[in-house]
Amino acid sequence: MKRIFSLLFLVGATGFLFAQTNEFELKVTFKPFKRQFIYLGYHYGKQKPVIDSVFLDDNSTGVFKRAKKLEKGVYLVGFPNRTGYFEILIDKEQKFSVTADTANLISSLKFVGSPDNTLFLQYQNYASVKGREIEDAKRQLAAAKTKADSTKWTDVIIKADKDIQQFRHDLIAKNPDATISALLKAMKNPEVPPASQHPGGKYDSSFAYRYFKDHYWDDTWFFDERLARTSFFEEKLDEYFTTLIYPNADSVIKEIDWMLAYATANDEMQRFLLVKFINRYLNPQYMWEDKVYIHLFEKYFSQKEYPWLNEKGKKTIFDRYYSMAANVFGSTAADIDLPDSTGKMKKLFNITDPYTVVVFWDPTCGHCKETLPRIDSIYRAKWNKLNVKIYAIAKETDGTKKDWLSFINEHHLTGWEHVYNSKDANDARVKNNIPSYYQLYDVQVVPTLYLLDKNKSILAKKIPFDQIDKVLDYKLKGQ
């Protein structure tokens, strides 16, 4: 039994609006439930949005109806208590019935009026039987005490897996136009040729990698909307970018543009991929990923309107771009001009040291109070000798200027360039339509650290101070 989907729509943290759909008829008889609601949802990557519910009568029967056809894909009929579901396919046939019984869910399923789902059920039943064989063999293998037993149960697992692959192959061959055939082909990973067929007749890891990557998307069509409503397609995307694409902005951008060039032929797939990618790079996991987000914004969002994107989602995307564009990894940082403890203005760009660590912090922040003395320790032990300057911007929040000065004096943070950004100064910039320093440096939490070179180019951003130290080591070794 699978865990039930939650009541989710794609109006998430970023505010994306998922359009409602309408027109089909699905009669469901779902025993033993009576006089209870059951639910209709679908796979959408890692999410399982619910789109409808129906009340079962005394015969355990209810009918889902819409005035328009549903988009194609893998849908879910959910239990009244939302502890499980069974899957159905929605494609060309959108008027059919299904009966089910929780006493033996898969074997009890029967479809009338849907050849696609009858084939899907055949595959599910076969895969379920073979799956149980594999699980049992794995348990026996774990308990095996002799080499002969280990070999026996390993062979059982291998044979059962081959049986499933052969069943898939035969199903596709006999039903090339069926929905389940298209999905099974898209699910399949390429099989690398044996070592005897590699260059030189022996295993070549580079050849194996290239072959697997080049054939990864065979039989997968990025304009096929059914893929968006599956549980496997987003996982396959994630695996591709995580394991097969070189981790730099240019490589990732090339792949994204290639996929979206095909997906533009179908509004549903274009939406799925754009939402997927813009959410993925909204908060970069690695410093170089800001370039990917900026590319996505400038090419696909800056001058285009989408009916599925509401104003809240659009504002999130645009605001994130403005914050990120000012501090792209490798670009020149924005200058900062703020007063020190005596009121004298101190410009970041006036620092001539080879490297500058920029620290945004708040004197009332507990994590800042813990981290800044540790930064000072590494500064005194190492950075100071390497002519690394620290330019620290204290943010006024609920504290006062006195809190700032007290902390500096108490922890003897000497040798740093300390400046203070008061609420009044910050508000004045915003009121005059000048981006705040927090926006220019995309400061969402404190402390936030940047490493700049002599020309104030961004060498590292928004990483812990110990990682800053590693980047410094790398740069100094390169010199």
pLDDT, one tens digit per residue, over 333-367 is: 999 999 999 999 999 999 999 999 999 999 999 99
Checking if the pLDDT of 452 tops 80, the result is yes
What DSSP line would sit under 47-73, residue for residue? B--EEEEEE--TTSEEEEEESSPPPSE
Residue range 55-76: average pLDDT?
Answer: 96
pLDDT, one tens digit per residue, over 14-52 is: 333 334 444 799 999 999 999 999 999 999 988 999 999
Tally the residues of the chain.
Answer: 479
Residue 479's pLDDT is 60
Residue range 374-397: average pLDDT?
Answer: 95
Residue range 97-107: average pLDDT?
Answer: 93
Residue 12's pLDDT is 36
Checking if the pLDDT of 322 tops 90, the result is no
pLDDT, one tens digit per residue, over 425-450 is: 999 999 999 999 999 999 989 999 99
Question: Which CATH topology does 24-112 take?
Answer: Immunoglobulin-like (2.60.40)
What DSSP line would sit under 381-404, residue for residue? HTGGGGTEEEEEEEEPSSS-HHHH
Which CATH code of 3.30.70.1350, 2.40.30.10, 3.30.565.10, 3.40.30.10 fits the domain covering 337-478?
3.40.30.10
Measured between alpha carbons, how far is 322 from 442 in angstroms, rounded to an integer? Answer: 9
Residue 397's pLDDT is 80
Checking if the pLDDT of 470 tops 50, the result is yes
Q: How many CA atoms lie within 13 A of 114 on its CB side?
A: 28
Residue 378's pLDDT is 97
Residue 317's pLDDT is 95
Checking if the pLDDT of 323 tops 90, the result is no
Checking if the pLDDT of 326 tops 90, the result is no
Task: Provide the 10 A C-beta neighbour count for residue 477.
Answer: 7
Residue 3's pLDDT is 37
Checking if the pLDDT of 398 tops 80, the result is no
Least confident of 114-123, 325-334, 382-391: 325-334
Residue range 457-461: average pLDDT?
Answer: 93
Angle at 64 (CA atoms; ends 61, 70), nearest 5 degrees? 150
Peptide bond into 447 cis (omega under 30): yes
Taking alpha carbons only, the member of 61, 57, 58, 54 closest to residue 40 is 54
Where would I find the H helices in 297-345? 311-325
pLDDT, one tens digit per residue, over 231-246 is: 999 999 999 999 999 9
Least confident of 118-127, 246-255, 319-328: 319-328
pLDDT, one tens digit per residue, over 283-321 is: 999 999 999 999 999 999 998 999 999 999 999 999 899
Are 378 and 461 within 8 A, CB to CB? no
Checking if the pLDDT of 9 tops 70, the result is no
What is the pTM assigned to this prediction?
Answer: 0.77
Record the tokens describing residue 75, joined without a space.
């849908």
200-233 CB burial, b ≥16 within 10 A, e <16? eeeeeeebeeebeeeeebeebbbebbbbbbbbeb
Residue 4's pLDDT is 37
Quick one: pLDDT band at residue 6, thresholds 50, 70, 90?
A: very low
* H-helix or E-strand spanning residue 419: strand 417-421
Q: Is the dihedral of CA 205, 211, 216, 222 positive or negative?
A: positive
pLDDT, one tens digit per residue, over 170-218 is: 999 999 999 999 999 999 999 999 999 999 999 999 999 999 999 999 9
Mean pLDDT for the chain? 92
